[in-house]
Structures are given as C-alpha cells and as structure tokens.
C-alpha cells in the first residue's frame, strides 16, 4: 500500500504542530488554532505549495439530486 502523504507534507505538518504548541499558529481569519486536528489540517493545506509535497486533491462537495 502506497503512502498517502509525502515527506514534504509531513515536514509541513511538523512545522504547523510546532507553531501550534508555541501558540503562533493562525487559522482562518487570523485567530489561533484551537485543536491538534486543526493544526494538522492547516499543515496539510500549506503542504502543496511547497515543492515535492504529495497530498491528495481536495474532494469537491457532493451535488444534490432532485
């Protein structure tokens, strides 16, 4: 089974967790990140901007059928 996230993504999450623990991680509109899960999500969303980070694409919202 292949790795889901690359090493670049892991480094990004590591730095986000470091900032979270120090109280420096910003979320959304500039407020502080409140949970570890939020810190991981922020790290993964920053990862694709860095070269060589393997992160799956975001899934689009589901469409409602009428």
Q: Where are the domains of the chain?
A: 7-49
Intervals of the chain under pLDDT 70: 49-51, 61-66
- Largest Cα–Cα distance in the chain? 48
Which residue has 């690359």 as its token pair?
A: 6
The pLDDT score that the predictor gives to residue 22 is 95
Nearest Cα residue to 34 out of 7, 1, 13, 26:
26
pTM as predicted:
0.72
**Token pair listed for 48:** 């694709």
Question: Can you give the pLDDT at residue 20?
Answer: 94
pLDDT of residue 29: 84
């Amino acid at each position: 089974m292949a790795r889901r996230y690359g090493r670049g993504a892991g480094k990004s999450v590591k730095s986000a967790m470091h900032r979270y623990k120090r109280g420096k991680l910003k979320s959304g509109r500039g407020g502080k990140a409140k949970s570890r899960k939020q810190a991981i999500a922020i790290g993964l969303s920053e990862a694709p901007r860095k070269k060589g980070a393997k992160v799956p694409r975001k899934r689009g919202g589901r469409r409602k059928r009428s």
